Amino acid sequence: MKKIGFIGAGNMAGAIIEGIRKASLSVEIRAYDLNREKLLFLERKFQVCPVETMGACVEGIDYLFLAVKPQNFSEVLSELRTVVSKNTVIVSIAAGITEDYICKELGLTSKVVLVMPNTPLQLGCGATALSRGKHTSEEEFLFVRSIFDAAGITEEISSDHMNEVIPLNGSSPAFIYLFAKYFIHYGKSAGFTEEISLHLFAQTLMGSAEMLMNSGKSVEELIQMVSSKGGTTIAGLETLEEKGFSQAIQAACENCVKRAYELTR
């Protein structure tokens, strides 16, 4: 039975643990967090063993998930330096945190898996990018990947693109929600209830995603399917371009990556 520890017991940690349970993996899970209520919630819902210290969380474990914010990594790694084993696989889900930084702060040639998940993981609909560290075996990497596979889809990417992937899956849910927000605002201004506007637009998002994944058609072909010459959709698309829609998306992605590099350690 593999032993897994979590430093941090927030929403993303809970989503990952739910993925572990859905995968029916034979594991023992411990968790540490300064917020006792979060630990008790994980204990009740997922039979996680809450512990009082980071040392107790990492003692004898096989995999350690660091589910804390990037700005807290220095403090956490400093405390782990004297207690974590070089045989433990360190799984980081924080933006901007590199394998070299983790190894340097721990003073070990640690086994590392870098992960960029997203919040739909909480519903089993996640899209997760993972990168295998230099000292991590294929078997160890595949075990970590299997956890995220149980809560959505995964893609393995190179470690030097972990920042660049953030706009595609890590931050994009917020961009999509903002997109939805203004369509719902439009619906209300046109006389529809918020419920009707939300249901119609959300289902359209899901259907469009299904078309992108499974229709066998390119993005351009799918756009053309909706865009009759001289019709309503063309009028809307032309307006989006006139207002700088494509430039805004490109700038949003670039600034997202820029901020990730500012956080990089």
**Would you state the pLDDT for residue 93?**
95
Could you tell me if 16 and 149 are in contact, meaning their C-beta atoms sit under 8 angstroms apart?
A: no
Distance of CA 233 to the CA centre of its chain: 33
Q: Across residues 155-181, what is the average pLDDT?
A: 97
Above 90 in pLDDT, residue 122? Answer: no
Q: How confident is the model at residue 1 (pLDDT cuts 50, 70, 90)?
A: confident
Q: Across residues 255-265, what is the average pLDDT?
A: 92
**Would you state the pLDDT for residue 23?**
83
Residue 133, domain CATH: 3.40.50.720
Q: Which range of residues forms the domain containing residue 137? A: 2-160
Mean pLDDT for the chain overall: 95
Query: Quick one: 83 and 195 in the same domain?
Result: no
Query: Quick one: 133 and 213 in the same domain?
Result: no
Above 90 in pLDDT, residue 264? Answer: no
**And the tokens for 73?**
């990594």
| Residue percentage of the chain with pLDDT more than 70 | 100
- Record the pTM: 0.92
Q: How confident is the model at residue 42 (pLDDT cuts 50, 70, 90)?
A: very high
**Would you state the pLDDT for residue 19?**
87
Residue 225 resides in a domain: yes
Residue 143 resides in a domain: yes
Query: Quick one: 151 and 175 in the same domain?
Result: no
How far is residue 36's CA from residue 33's CA, in Å, rounded to a whole number? 7
Q: Across residues 46-64, what is the average pLDDT?
A: 95
Q: Across residues 195-219, what is the average pLDDT?
A: 98
Could you tell me if 38 and 10 are in contact, meaning their C-beta atoms sit under 8 angstroms apart?
A: yes
Residue 165 resides in a domain: no
Q: How confident is the model at residue 24 (pLDDT cuts 50, 70, 90)?
A: confident
Above 90 in pLDDT, residue 21? Answer: no
Residue 133 resides in a domain: yes
Q: Across residues 154-178, what is the average pLDDT?
A: 97
Q: Across residues 148-160, what is the average pLDDT?
A: 95
Q: Which residues pair with 91 in a beta bridge?
A: 65, 113
Letter for the amino acid at 202?
A: A
106-120: per-residue pLDDT in tens?
999 999 999 999 999
Query: Quick one: 40 and 74 in the same domain?
Result: yes
238-255: per-residue pLDDT in tens?
999 999 999 999 999 999
Query: Quick one: 151 and 75 in the same domain?
Result: yes
The total domain count for the chain is 2
Above 90 in pLDDT, residue 199? Answer: yes
Query: Quick one: 108 and 190 in the same domain?
Result: no
Query: Quick one: 145 and 182 in the same domain?
Result: no
Above 90 in pLDDT, residue 265? Answer: no
CB contact burial 51-78 (16+ within 10 A = b; e otherwise): beebeebbbebbbbbbbbeeeebeebbe
How far is residue 106's CA from residue 80's CA, in Å, rounded to a whole number? 7
Query: Quick one: 192 and 217 in the same domain?
Result: yes
Residue 231, domain CATH: 1.10.3730.10
Query: Quick one: 144 and 203 in the same domain?
Result: no
Above 90 in pLDDT, residue 145? Answer: yes
